[in-house]
Homo-oligomer: A and B are copies of this chain.
Amino acid sequence: LAIPIPELAERIERGEPRAIAKAITLADEGEAAELLIRLYGKGGRARVVGVTGPPGAGKSTLVDKLTRTYRSKGLSVGIVAVDPTSPFTGGAILGDRIRMQDLTSDEGVFIRSLATRGALGGLSRATADAIEILDASGKDVILVETVGVGQDEVEVALVAETVLVVLVPGLGDEIQAMKAGIIEIGDVFVVNKADKPGADRAQKELHAMLTLTLGHGEEPPEIVRTIAESGEGVAELVEAVERHRELVAKVPAGHGRSATERARRRTRERLRSIIKDQVLRRVDERFLARVDERTLDALSARTVDPYTLARELVEGA
């Protein structure tokens, strides 16, 4: 069943869903390096939009509606949903991913969940790989949805050109407690469920917070109100994403928020995640292979301590 890499690459470039699925599985298993090297020249055209926010903010519904809006403009869409999983069930812990059933029959849409449990070596590396594959397959827009839990998706958000941070009214304390890190990664902020009480207050608090952290002469990121359930505001959100792209393109080179600098940060993150992955693979092969039972027993008996031993192994490598 192994398809030769050149053939798999060709099929991906033709946009064949099964080839894309196969390639993302390979990436998830950390086995797609050769394929990705081959595909690398083909990518770089898709718009990559990250969607993050706390659990319950309505991210999945919003991604669904964003997809329909992009489709109505004739653009094809790839979706990567990043889920932490429970080792108890093997399933996603938050919300149901068996959604957008009617979208899956649309050939212009490809949906894939990546489970934190599955990603050998690193979630951010596997997610970035999946984006590469979808990009090479010719998808115009790639939506990356994360669950808002853990550190991983802060990293994942770094792969996107435009990051949407989705919040909801009534999480006033949540906004107060939001960390600077999240504020920094957000390019467009969304107040979803905007028909709920407290939407005005949430928007005001958010605006105040975003203004507070601005650099000299900088505009605050846009805040868009949506009701994802009904689709209200989603077209405006798509326009805000476009405006963000245009805005970034206009920032003079050398500025920290310029397109070049943003691309450098993404590229650096990408390189780091790949190096991390390769280096961790060597840990087992190179270091742990040298540790015999006698050494393990010495550690158990506490005649050797693992910190000193680790240092010797790593430095002697």
Q: Which residues of A contact B (CB under 8 A)?
A: 33, 36-37, 40-41, 43-44, 53-55, 84-91, 93, 116-117, 148-151, 153-154, 173-174, 177-179, 181-182, 260, 263-264, 266-268, 270-272, 274-276, 278-280, 282-284, 287-288, 291, 293, 296-297, 299-300, 302, 305-311, 313-314
Q: Is the CB of A296 within 8 A of B267?
A: yes
Q: Which residues of B contact A90 (CB under 8 A)?
A: 177, 179
Q: Is the CB of A54 within 8 A of B275?
A: no
Q: Which residues of B contact A33 (CB under 8 A)?
A: 307, 311
Q: Is the CB of A150 within 8 A of B296?
A: no
Q: Which residues of B contact A173 (CB under 8 A)?
A: 89
Q: Which residues of B contact A91 (CB under 8 A)?
A: 177
Report the Cα distance A117→B77, complex, angstroms: 31
- Select the residue from A117, A150, A306 with max chain B CB neighbours within 10 A: A306
Q: Is the CB of A40 within 8 A of B293?
A: no
Q: Is the CB of A86 within 8 A of B148?
A: yes
Residue A54 contacts which of B86, B154, B272 (CB distance < 8 angstroms)?
B86
7 contacts between A and B (CB under 8 A): A36-B307, A54-B89, A55-B86, A117-B151, A271-B288, A278-B314, A279-B283
Residue A305 contacts which of B40, B88, B174, B264 (CB distance < 8 angstroms)?
B40
Q: Is the CB of A306 within 8 A of B177?
A: no
- Select the residue from A174, A260, A305 with max chain B CB neighbours within 10 A: A305
Report the Cα distance A43→B301, complex, angstroms: 10
Q: Is the CB of B116 within 8 A of A151?
A: yes
- 8 extra A-B contacts, CB within 8 A, seeds A36-B307, A40-B302, A272-B283: A37-B305, A40-B306, A86-B149, A87-B153, A87-B179, A89-B177, A279-B282, A280-B280
Given contacts A88-B182, A302-B44, A305-B36, A93 and B55 within 8 Å (CB-CB):
yes
How far, in Å, is A272 (CB) from chain B's closest CB?
Answer: 6
Q: Which residues of B contact A178 (CB under 8 A)?
A: 88-89
